[in-house]
Structure formats: C-alpha cells, structure tokens
C-alpha cells in the first residue's frame, strides 16, 4: 500500500477556516473534502484506481460538487462571506 | 486532452459572492458548481462525452439542480437576500 | 429542437426572493428548481421525454421534493419566515 | 386520471410556517414534502402505484425522511425552535 | 399487519427540541428520523423485513447517518449548541 | 456477533461540540458520523465486511465525505468558526 502523504491526512489544511478571498475559501472547501476521503481511505493506489471511474461519470462529478458546495457554506459563513 | 480554458478553472468567477441582483446571484451559483466540476475534471473531451448522459437523464438533472440550490443558499445569505 | 421559451430561462422569475406569503414562496421554490433545469437542458423535447420516467418513479419524486425543500429554505429565510 | 383533491395541491397547508408545538411543526414538514410531490405528480393512481415500491424499500424511506428533516429545519427556525 | 406502537408514531418524542446535553440531542436526532419512517411506513413487519437489507449495506448506513446529521443540525441550533 | 465496544456507541464522544481547533472539530465530525453508524449497526463483523465495498468505491467515499461536511457545519457553528 502506498499511503497518502502525511500532509494529505491533516483534516483542515492550514488549521483555520479563515481565508483572504472567496477563491481561497473555495480551494479550502475542495481541500477539506479531499482530505476527508484521504482519511477514510488512505491507500493511494485504491484512490487512483477509483479516479477513472468517478472522474468520467457525470453523476459522480455532481455528487463531488455537492460536497464542495456544502463545505463552502461553512467556510463562507466563517468568513462573513468576505463582505467588505 | 483538450483542457478547459483557464477562466473555467477559476473557482469563484469575479472573485466575490456579492451580486447586484438575485438573477446574477443565481447565475453565479450555476457557475460555481460548473467550475468545481471543471477543476475536478479539466478534460473538456471527457466533460463533453458525459453531457448526453446526464443532460437527458431527469435524475441527473435533479441532482445538478440540487447543487445549484445549495450554492445559491450561500450566495443569497452573502447578499442578505438582496433585501431592500 | 424545441427550445424552452425565454421566460423559462430566467433564473429568478420575478427577480426577487421576497414574496407576500409562504404559499407564494413555495411556488417560487418550485419555479427556481424548474428554471435551473431549463437552463441546463433547454431542449423541451428532451425534458418532455424524461417526464414519464421521473414523474412515475417515487425515488425521483422524492429527489425533486428535496431540491424544492432546499430552495424553500433560502426563500423562507429571505422573508424572515413571513413572521408577523 | 384520478386527481389529487384540491386541498392536496395547496403548497403550504394552513398558509403559515408558524405552529404551536414541535409536534405540529413536524407534521407540517411531512405535509409540505407530500404536497410538493402532489404538485409535481397530481395523478393519484400513479402515486398509489408507486407506494408499494418506495414504502417497502429502506433506501426510499431514508430518502423521504431526509426531505422531512430538511423541511423541518426551515419550520423549526421559523418558530425559533419553540424555545420558551 | 403488526403496527408500530403508538409511542413510535409521535413525531417529536418528548415534545421539545431542547435537551440537557449534546448526547441527548443526538439521541433525539436519531429518534426523529426513526419516527418519520414509522409514520410513513407503520407496518412493523415491513420495517423488520427491510432491516437486513439496509443495515448491512454501507451506502444505506451512510444515507441514514446523513439524515441524523441533518436532524442534529436543527436540534443543536435549538439548544444554542449547548454552549456554556 | 462481535459488538462495537461501548465507547463506540457514545453518540457524542467527549460530550461536547466545543473543540479547541478546527482540526479537532473536523475529527469530531468524522467521529459523530461513525458513531451514528455504530449505533444503527453495532455488529463489528458486519461493519468490517462492508468496508471493502464502500472504501474502494468513489461514490461511497463521496457520500461519506458529505455526511462529514454536514456534521462539520454544526460543529463549526457551535465554535463560532474558531474566529479569533
């Protein structure tokens, strides 16, 4: 088994939900989702084997996008929606 | 591989959640969802190949509409629901 | 291709989330969901062809009801839940 | 076609999200979900034909319970969680 | 048909969302979800027949856990997150 | 049947939603989701038998990540997003 590197197993990369911009917040949302999956399944070979299956399946991509949307709700609220 | 153009890989087009109108907020919600998918799967050929599958399947369309609804929750809150 | 009429492609019919009553808010929630789908798939023939499939499938109806419930969360919050 | 009676097509039975108790709020959540489905599919015969399918399928019941949970979030917030 | 006992058909057991502890709030979340299902399908024999199917299926368990998570959001908000 | 140990059946490990850091909050979100499943299905042998199925299936992993995202929304709100 090739294990996901340690930095991929940190649950909240950077250790905070606060970001400078919506763009960075969005990147964090994607990162949070990915790291959850790395923690549930830390075997890189399994993850790579699954990628062709889900990354070419529209329904899988929609489901992944939904998780990102939910993570982003939390991050956007944490940042007061980056209102000026 | 034909790559999604760079502007399609920006996570938050326009760089802000604040919009002038609900209509623009809704368009942003759709755009956020689409750009997430472009970031997960940046190969345009794969995306185009998947479109006939999901765009003619009511359940896939419902799932896509749900992601837009979730994104819109965030954007609407960011804009205080465009209350006057 | 028979295209969804232009008014079906407006993302937020009426241009506002504010409604006089919960009943109207609920109708708007259904309308928002439907218009998202029209924007993703503007071909009326495809939409009509899909209807018998999803409108007779309880799981599809449940999924559609979930999208409406999520849209309604946003609209209800926008209207302060129509509290007196 | 046997049509769902008119009262089943009202989107918000009672016309308000405010209820006296959590129990009534929960009943309203179930009612909202059911009336959405009646509006999408007003043919009682189709609805009845689908019932054996979903009401005996645990995954369908879980999905239905999820819609009720989402509707209840809205109603509970509207009622300030019936805090004293 | 063996009917779910009357106490299983109460929608909000205890009649309140307020609990002394997060642990009790979590138990209430599970209970709310279960009672919704009892109300949709009050036939105990059908429920028992379905259990082996969903309780051994990881995807079904994940779906059930999601409903509990959504119910818990409401209950936790109602209790101001049991902050001291 | 090998039963999940008692500590795995506590619904809210630690008895509070308050954590010192986002990282700990995220770990709690994963823990809450896992403990829900242990309570629904306390038979360790069944849980272990299901793991190869879901831990190698991208769609199952996405679904699990979604539950964690929802739990985390609650925990992050409880902690005022760990804002300084």
pLDDT at B15: 97
Give the C:D interface size as CB pairs under 8 Å. Answer: 91
Which residues pair with residue A3 across a beta bridge? A43
- Whole-model pTM over 0.95: yes
Residue A35 to residue F22: CA distance in whole angstroms? 14
User: Is pLDDT of E32 > 90?
Assistant: yes
Which secondary-structure segment (H or E) carries A66? helix A58-78
For residues D55-76, give the mean pLDDT: 98
Please give the full DSSP string across D6-58, using - where no structure is assigned. Answer: GGGT-SSTTS-S--SSHHHHHHHHHHHHHHHHHHH--BHHHHHHHHHHHHT-H
For residues B28-54, give the mean pLDDT: 96
For residues A17-29, give the mean pLDDT: 98
In eight-state DSSP terms, residue F31 is: H
Mutate to test the interface with C, among D52, D56, D70, D80 (most CBs of C within 10 A): D70
pLDDT at D8: 84
pLDDT at C1: 83
Phi, psi (deg, nearest 5) at residue A3: -85, 140
User: Is pLDDT of C72 > 90?
Assistant: yes
Q: C16 and B82 in contact (C-beta within 8 Å)?
A: yes
b/e A7-20 (16+ beta carbons within 10 angstroms → b): ebeebbeeebbbbe
Which secondary-structure segment (H or E) carries C29? helix C22-40
User: Is pLDDT of B1 > 90?
Assistant: no
Side-chain-facing half-sphere of E38: CA atoms under 13 Å = 19
Give the distance from CA B10 to its chain's centroid: 11
Residue A55 to residue B56: CA distance in whole angstroms? 19
Q: F70 and E66 in contact (C-beta within 8 Å)?
A: yes
A62 at interface of B, judged by CB pairs closer than 8 A: yes
Neighbours of chain E (3+ CB pairs under 8 A): D, F
Residue F82 to residue F21: CA distance in whole angstroms? 7
pLDDT at C16: 98
CA dihedral E15, E21, E26, E28 (to 10 degrees): -10
For residues E60-72, give the mean pLDDT: 98
Residue D76 to residue B42: CA distance in whole angstroms? 41
Distance from the Cα of F6 to chain A's closest Cα (Å) equals 22
Q: Which of E59, B54, F80, F25 is nearest to A62 (CA)?
A: B54
Mean pLDDT, 10 residues at a time, chain F of 84 residues = 90 97 98 97 96 96 98 98 94
Strand segments, DSSP code E, in F15-58 are none
**Are residues E26 and F32, on separate chains, in Cβ contact within 8 Å?**
yes
**Are residues E77 and D82, on separate chains, in Cβ contact within 8 Å?**
no
**Are residues F63 and E62, on separate chains, in Cβ contact within 8 Å?**
yes
Residue F62 to residue E45: CA distance in whole angstroms? 33
pLDDT at A78: 98
D9 at interface of C, judged by CB pairs closer than 8 A: no
Neighbours of chain C (3+ CB pairs under 8 A): B, D
Mutate to test the interface with B, among C7, C17, C35 (most CBs of B within 10 A): C17
Give the residue ranges of DSSP H helices in chain E.
22-40, 44-55, 58-78
pLDDT at C65: 98
Q: D76 and E75 in contact (C-beta within 8 Å)?
A: no
pLDDT at A73: 98
User: Is pLDDT of B84 > 90?
Assistant: no
pLDDT, averaged across chain B: 96
Q: Which of E34, E5, E19 is nearest to E81 (CA)?
A: E19
Task: pLDDT band for C14, please (50, 70, 90 cuts).
Answer: very high
For residues D18-25, give the mean pLDDT: 98
For residues A8-15, give the mean pLDDT: 94
Side-chain-facing half-sphere of A62: CA atoms under 13 Å = 21
pLDDT, averaged across chain C: 96
Which secondary-structure segment (H or E) carries C64? helix C58-78
In eight-state DSSP terms, residue D82 is: G
Residue D81 to residue E18: CA distance in whole angstroms? 8
- Count of helix runs (H) and strand runs (E) in chain D: 3, 0
Task: pLDDT band for A20, please (50, 70, 90 cuts).
Answer: very high
For residue range A27-62, what is the model confidence (pLDDT) as tens digits?
999 999 999 999 999 999 999 999 999 999 999 999
pLDDT at C8: 84
């Amino acid at each position: 088994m090739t294990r996901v590197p340690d930095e991929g197993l940190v649950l909240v990369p950077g250790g905070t939900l606060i970001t400078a911009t919506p763009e960075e917040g969005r990147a964090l949302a994607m990162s949070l989702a990915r790291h959850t999956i790395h923690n549930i399944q830390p075997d890189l070979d399994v993850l790579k084997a699954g990628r062709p299956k889900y990354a070419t399946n529209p329904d899988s991509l929609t489901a992944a996008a939904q998780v990102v949307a939910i993570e982003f709700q939390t991050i956007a609220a944490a940042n007061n929606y980056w209102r000026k």
